[in-house]
Structure 1
Amino acid sequence: MPQDPIHDLQGMPQLLEIMRRLRDPQNGCPWDIEQTFATIAPYTIEEAYEVRDAIEREAWDELKSELGDLLFQSVFHAQMAQDAGMFDFQDIVGAISEKMINRHPHVFGDESRDKSAAQQTLDWEKVKAAERAAKKQTGVLDDVAIALPALQRAVKLQNRAARVGFDWPATEMVLDKLQEEARELVEARDKLTEDEVRDEMGDILFVVANLARHLGVDPEEALRGTNAKFTRRFRSIEAALAAKGKHPKDSTLEEMDALWDAAKAAEKAD
C-alpha cells in the first residue's frame, strides 16, 4: 500500500494539509467536520491556559507540545473560515505581520529606538487607538474583549477609563469604597434577591480589581498565587491527617485550622 503523501510534507504546509483533510466533507473526521467557531472557542481558550500552566511549572518539554496544540487551534479556525469563504491562514499571517510592522516603527521604520519601555507602551497605545478609530470604534471602552477573564477585563476597562480621567485619585478612596460596598452587602444580604446579591458581589469584585490596579498588582496573578498557596497548605493538612490514619471529613475545623497554621509557619520558616 503506497504511503500517504501527507508524510512528504513538513512544517506549516503539512499542518495545514492535515487540517484540510480533517475537515474534508467526504473523507474527513466526522467530529472535526461538524465543529463551528463557537464550539471550538472553548478549546482555544483551554489550550492557551495550558501553555501558561507549562510556563509557570517551567515544564519546558511540555511547552513545545502545548504551543503546538495552541497553533493547531489557529489552524482549525483558519480552515473553518476558508470553508466559509471568509479568509484563510495566509490572510491571518498577512494581517498579523502588517499589524506588528505598523506597531513597531522604531524597529521596522525610521523612528528612533532610543525610547524607554514606558514610552514604547504609550506609543503602542496611540497606534492601537488609531486602529480603533479606523474601525470606527470611537468609544473609550471599545474592543476590550468580552470573553477575557472577568478580573482581567475589569482592570482593562478601568485602565481605559482612567486614561480619560475617570478614576479615583487616591488608593485610600478605593479602599474606602471597598469597605462601603462590603458593609452594605453584609447589612442588606437578607433583604436582597439572589440576583441582587450577585450584582452587589460583582460590584465588590470590581472595586477589588480597581484596588489591585492602584497598588500595581495584577489581580489575576495575585489570585492565582493565593490559589496555589491554598492548594499547597490544604495538601499539607491532608498529609498530616493521613499520617494519623484520618481524612479531613473525619477531622474538626479546629484540628484542620491548627494544621493550617503549622503549614503556614513551616513555609515562612523555609
Structure 2
Amino acid sequence: MNSRKEQLEAIDRLLTIMDELREQCPWDKKQTMQSLRHLTIEETYELGDAILDNDLNEVKMELGDVLLHIIFYSKIGSETNDFDIADVANAICDKLVNRHPHIYGDVKVLNEEDVKRNWEQIKLKEGKKSVLEGVPRSLPALVKANRIQDKVAGVGFDWEEPQQVFEKVQEELGELQVEVQKGDSEKIEAEFGDVLFSMINYARFLGVNPENALERTNKKFIKRFQFLENSAKEMGKDMKDMTLEEMDVYWSKAKTYE
C-alpha cells in the first residue's frame, strides 16, 4: 500500500491534471455542473455494479472515475469563487467530527443503533426540519423506500420484532388480493406499493439490502435466460416455437451451472 505522502502526491497530481484539462481540452472547458450530473449518476451506478460483482480491480477504476467528478465539480466551484476542493474536504471533515461525538466528544454509545440515533438527532439540531430531508428526491423508488425506513428507525419509529413486519407483509398481501378481485386498477397499484414497502421494511429487519438482493436476482435471471437462448440456438430452434415445458428443461439446466 502507498504511504500517506504518496497518497497526497497522487491527489495533487489529479488536481494538476484537472487544471490542465480545464484550460486546454475543448470538451473539459465546456462542461458545467449540469452537464456532468447525468455522467456522475452513470459512474456511480458503474461503481455499484463493480461492487456487486466483487471485482476489486474494477472497483478501483470506478472509484477513480467518481473521484474525478468530485475534483471536476470542485474545480468549477473554484472558478466562481464559491468553493474549492479544500472547502469540500473540510466541510465533510467538520460534519464527521460533529456527528461523531462518541469519538470526538464525551458522548457514550453502546452499539451501532445508538450511533444512528445520535446521527439523526444531531442533524435535527443542525437545522433540519425533518429526518427525511436528507433523502434525495431523485433516488429510485426502491432505494428511497429503504432510506426512508432506515432514517425514521433512527429516531425510534420502528417495529420491535421481525415477526411483526412479516405479519404486516401478509396483511398487505391480503389487502392487495382484495383489490385485485375488485378490479380497481388505481387501488391495485396503491396496495401493490404497500406490499413492496412492507417487503423492503422486512428486508431491513433481516439484514438484507433490498436493492442488492433484487439486482442479484436480475443478474441471475439474465444469466439463466441467456443460457436458454444459447441452448435454443444450438438446437437450431426459435424460442417462439418452443413450448414452456421445453424451455423449463433448459432453465433448470442453467441452475446447475451457478
TM bucket, shorter chain: 0.7 to 0.9
In the alignment, which residue of structure 2 is the partner of 1:210? Answer: 201
In the alignment, which residue of structure 2 is the partner of 1:126? Answer: 118
In the alignment, which residue of structure 2 is the partner of 1:22? Answer: 21
Is 2:199 aligned against 1:219? no
Is 2:188 aligned against 1:192? no
How far apart, CA to CA, are the structure 1 residues paired with 2:107 and 2:215? 39
Relative to 1, partners in 2 of residues 1:167 and 1:111: Cα closer, same or farther, differing over 3 Å?
closer
Is 2:37 aligned against 1:44? no
Relative to 1, partners in 2 of residues 1:127 and 1:165: Cα closer, same or farther, differing over 3 Å?
closer
How far apart, CA to CA, are the structure 2 residues paired with 1:241 and 1:139? 55
What is the CA distance between 1:126 and its match in structure 2? 0.7
Give the letter for the 1:56 counterpart.
L
Q: May I ask how many residue pairs the two structures share in their alignment?
A: 247
How far apart, CA to CA, are the structure 2 residues paired with 1:111 and 1:164? 19
Relative to 1, partners in 2 of residues 1:221 and 1:92: Cα closer, same or farther, differing over 3 Å?
same
In the alignment, which residue of structure 2 is the partner of 1:5? Answer: none
Which of 147, 157, 164 is the matching residue for 1:165?
Answer: 157
Contact 2:159 2:165 in 1 (8 A): no
Contact 1:171 1:215 in 2 (8 A): no
SS at match of 2:131: coil
- Gapped regions of structure 1 (runs ≥ 5): 1-9
Relative to 1, partners in 2 of residues 1:202 and 1:94: Cα closer, same or farther, differing over 3 Å?
same
Is 2:173 aligned against 1:179? yes
Which range moved further: 197-206 or 90-99? 197-206
In the alignment, which residue of structure 2 is the partner of 1:95? Answer: 91
Which of 120, 123, 133 is the matching residue for 1:142?
Answer: 133
Relative to 1, partners in 2 of residues 1:34 and 1:202: Cα closer, same or farther, differing over 3 Å?
farther
Relative to 1, partners in 2 of residues 1:166 and 1:66: Cα closer, same or farther, differing over 3 Å?
closer
In the alignment, which residue of structure 2 is the partner of 1:249? Answer: 240
Which one scores higher on RCO, CA 8 angstroms, separation ≥ 6?
2
Encode CA deviations 1:24-44: one digit per residue, 9 max, x unaligned. Answer: 4xx442x33343333322222
Give the letter for the 1:73 counterpart.
H
Contact 1:233 1:260 in 2 (8 A): yes
How far apart, CA to CA, are the structure 1 residues paired with 2:124 and 2:29? 34
In the alignment, which residue of structure 2 is the partner of 1:7? Answer: none
Relative to 1, partners in 2 of residues 1:242 and 1:75: Cα closer, same or farther, differing over 3 Å?
same
CA RMSD of aligned residues (A): 3.0
How far apart, CA to CA, are the structure 1 residues paired with 2:30 and 2:47? 26
- Gapped regions of structure 2 (runs ≥ 5): 1-8
What is the CA distance between 1:154 and its match in structure 2? 0.6
Which range moved further: 68-77 or 98-107? 98-107
Which of 50, 55, 58 is the matching residue for 1:54?
Answer: 50
**TM-score normalized by the length of structure 2:** 0.79
What is the CA distance between 1:81 and its match in structure 2? 1.9
What is the CA distance between 1:93 and its match in structure 2? 1.0
